[in-house]
Amino acid sequence: MERIRMGVIGLGRMGGHHVRCIKAGQGMVLSAVTDADPSRAEALAPGTPFHESVDDLLRHCDAVVLAVPSPLHAEMGIRILDAGKHLLMEKPLAADLRGCDRLAAAAEAAGVVLDVGHVERLNWAYRQTRESVSNPRFVEAHRLGGYDPRGTEVDVVLDLMIHDLDLVLDLFGGEPDRVEAVGVAVLTSRVDIANARLEFPGGALVNLTASRVSRDPVRKMRIFEANGYHSLDLGARCVEVVRRMGPAPMEMDRRVLTAPEDHNPLVDELEEFRRRILGEETRLPGVKGGRRAVALAERVIADIERRSDAGERVPGEGTQWAAPS
């Protein structure tokens, strides 16, 4: 396959980004789109064939990007995999571990590629940091955004914090021994702001905050080692590197590295997905990586629930997720 025919299911914010980035990527062609709201296709993908049904779309593509609400990931993903199509799932892989395992089994049975779009792994600032960090001892991250109805079908942990949970798991290469978390519902009936404290083997600590009720957007992470630190601005795609050069505390080397202007992590993610379809090694997390992130998110949510005065989360009331037929 010289050019992989890509279909996009779900034309919300992320689906729209995928439409644009498939067109900008190498070795792919946007061959089909569908959404519960047909008017989105005219606005986001003019000239691309729109299919009213998922089954019809699947006949016109080799691979699919699924960008629908998280509670729909497992059922719709299995439908795509059972049709023999490769699948790139927008994060999270599924809304729970059972869904992750069902997707993994379906992909294995069909003999097709299943991966998950943890796009921050392809962020230039993180890639530069990942190559140079060897022994992190303390990590803190803030991922803050304003209220957006998109994503509120799940807690902020699965909506936003999961990006940083994935990066931390990749950075440490293992699971935390201890998870402590707090969170509250603010504008929805689910947790809208949360803080998690993770302790990894050897005593390394991680402090993560995620909010979808903040005024200004923030996507920052700081990683401290014995003799310096990396300060990442994932939104601006730059990293400040500070290292001690000698015994004197103030003798420091400070550099700021910025991504090339044409860097687009979502284009890189799609091209990595194409390479995986062709049997090449990639930097994507794979099914195991996607499952690990959901498993850690569930540990965070469980501790929030344990500490909640109510004892259990209040499920969202009256929420409906429209899926293409």
User: What's the pLDDT score for residue 286?
Assistant: 96
Span 309-325, pLDDT tens digits: 645 444 333 344 455 65
Is residue 28 within 8 Å of 3, Cβ to Cβ? yes
Q: Which of 258, 252, 224 is nearest to 240 (CA)?
A: 258
* Higher-confidence position of 252 and 70: 70
User: What's the pLDDT score for residue 314?
Assistant: 40
Span 196-237, pLDDT tens digits: 999 999 999 999 999 999 999 999 999 999 989 999 999 999
Span 60-97, pLDDT tens digits: 999 999 999 999 999 999 999 999 999 999 999 999 99
Region 183-187 average pLDDT: 95
Region 149-159 average pLDDT: 92
**What pairs with residue 66 in β-bridges?**
9, 89
**Residue 173 pLDDT level (bands cut at 50, 70, 90):** very high
Cα 235 to Cα 10, 125, 177, 211, 242: the distances in Å are 24, 9, 30, 15, 20
Any idea which residue has 């022994």 for tokens?
Answer: 135
* DSSP secondary structure code for residue 186 in this structure: S
Rounded Cα gap, residues 22 and 63, in angstroms: 12
Any idea which residue has 């990595």 for tokens?
Answer: 272
Rounded Cα gap, residues 6 and 175, in angstroms: 34
Any idea which residue has 């998922």 for tokens?
Answer: 54
Is residue 14 within 8 Å of 73, Cβ to Cβ? no
User: What's the pLDDT score for residue 324?
Assistant: 62
Strands, sheet with 178-184, edge to edge from the N-terminal-most edge strand? 178-184, 193-199, 205-211, 138-144, 218-225, 228-233, 238-244, 252-258
| Mean pLDDT for the chain overall | 93
Rounded Cα gap, residues 104 and 99, in angstroms: 9
* DSSP secondary structure code for residue 26 in this structure: S
Q: Which two tokens stand for residue 275?
A: 């390479």
Residue 48 pLDDT greater than 50, yes or no = yes
User: What's the pLDDT score for residue 283?
Assistant: 94
User: What's the pLDDT score for residue 252?
Assistant: 79
Q: What angle do CA 138, 93, 187 make, to 5 degrees?
A: 75
**Residue 110 pLDDT level (bands cut at 50, 70, 90):** very high
Span 274-307, pLDDT tens digits: 999 999 999 999 999 999 999 999 999 999 999 8
**Entry pTM:** 0.92
